[in-house]
Amino acid sequence: MTKKHAKCPFCEAKIIKYGERRMHCVQCKKTWTVRPKRRGRKAKRVTATPIKRYLNHERVPLARERRGATVSASRSARLRKERDEFNKKQVWHPVPDGPLILIADAIVKYRKGSWHTWFFMFLRAVESEDAIILPPYYAGGREVCSEWCSALETIHPDTLKRVKALVSDGHRGLMSFALWHDWLVQRCHIHLIMAIQARRSRWSMGRKRSEGEEIFMLTNCVLKNPCREEARRALSRIEEIGWTSKSKMLKKVLQGFVTSAEDYRTYLNHPELNLPTTSNTAESLNALVDDFCSRARGFRTVASLNAWIIALCKERGTIKCQGKYQQN
């Protein structure tokens, strides 16, 4: 009781002390326990709103606030607590019905003196334009075949049976898994074009500039021309240039392209699947992770970075993934 002359809450009669923490009414003879009020600040309610604002660039990072001002460690701790609570309560998007398209890519980062890899996977229904983000798979070290198999095995077996095609950059681990499950493979056009552009001659006064322009035009013909005969002739010419080229790196890229040319034309051979020609869906999430890391200005531990990546994926939920014919 906090009042000096408190009365019985039942009959409003006089009360007396009955032990250390109990009170006793002299009239109705009832007793009860008196619990003192908790002193200090009340515990703040943990909500998902601050985390969503932080992940969507609506809240200034704490690292930027520290410049010219003192930010207590309790604020950082509270933000981490809100992140952990958000990861605990926020559920992943359900897998869509019907046949599925799987998009996969990885991001590799160097932290605390070693390499760390996050494997991102997306599932999109054939008739949809939105791909859901699956839980990312983390592994120490570089991007290797065995870790890709472990990452893809985290997907439910019933879901893997509904996958019809895989869109990726052509990593050997992904190719082996797709071959094992009898999936169609659509290789990313952007990765191939960037590899060729980085190795062909583009100087205005270069002796091999005309050859570089020819390679670029022939590559576009193979990738985009629906006529198989014209694509076959262009591919034969690319093979000739690959054998006569003095650049070892360019020869390696062109020979690899000739070997797996059909994997770049899967979207033409199977228009009913509405396949995208690039893995830009995964690359856009990689860019979001890189941007978030630069805004946060580093993380103390890899576990903290992993928790923030999971929170970012859960907050996004889905990402745009349009097919080639829908884009046109």
Distance in angstroms (rounded) separating the CA atoms of residues 251 and 244: 8
Nearest to 282 by CA among 198, 179, 184, 167: 167
Task: Calculate ∠ Cα 120-124-127, nearest 5°.
Answer: 165
Task: Calculate ∠ Cα 47-52-56, nearest 5°.
Answer: 165
Instruction: State percent of the chain over pLDDT 90.
Output: 34
What pTM, to 2 d.p., does this model score?
A: 0.77
Report whether CATH 3.30.420 matches the domain 96-187+279-328: yes
What would the pLDDT profile of 16-52 be if each residue is shown by its tens digit?
A: 888 888 889 999 989 988 887 777 766 666 666 777 8
Domain coordinates of the chain in residue numbers? Answer: 1-34, 49-89, 96-187+279-328, 189-277
The answer to whether 125 and 163 are in contact (CB under 8 A) is: no
Chain centroid to Cα 67, Å, comes to 30
Which one-letter amino acid corresponds to residue 15?
I
The pLDDT value given to residue 201: 57
The pLDDT value given to residue 49: 75
Integer CA distances (angstroms), 209 to 7, 192, 205, 223, 243, in order:
99, 19, 7, 21, 17
What would the pLDDT profile of 49-87 be if each residue is shown by its tens digit?
A: 777 887 777 655 555 444 444 445 677 788 888 888 889
Q: How confident is the model at residue 131 (pLDDT cuts 50, 70, 90)?
A: very high
The pLDDT value given to residue 253: 86
> In this predicted model, which residue has the larger pLDDT, 289 or 2?
289
18: Cβ–Cβ under 8 A, 6 or more apart, which residues? Answer: 24, 31
What would the pLDDT profile of 165-215 be if each residue is shown by its tens digit?
A: 999 988 999 999 999 999 999 999 988 888 888 766 555 444 567 777 888
What would the pLDDT profile of 214-235 be if each residue is shown by its tens digit?
A: 888 899 999 998 999 999 999 9
The pLDDT value given to residue 325: 45
Q: How confident is the model at residue 119 (pLDDT cuts 50, 70, 90)?
A: very high
The DSSP code sequence of 173-195 is: HHHHHHHHTT-EEEE-HHHHHHH
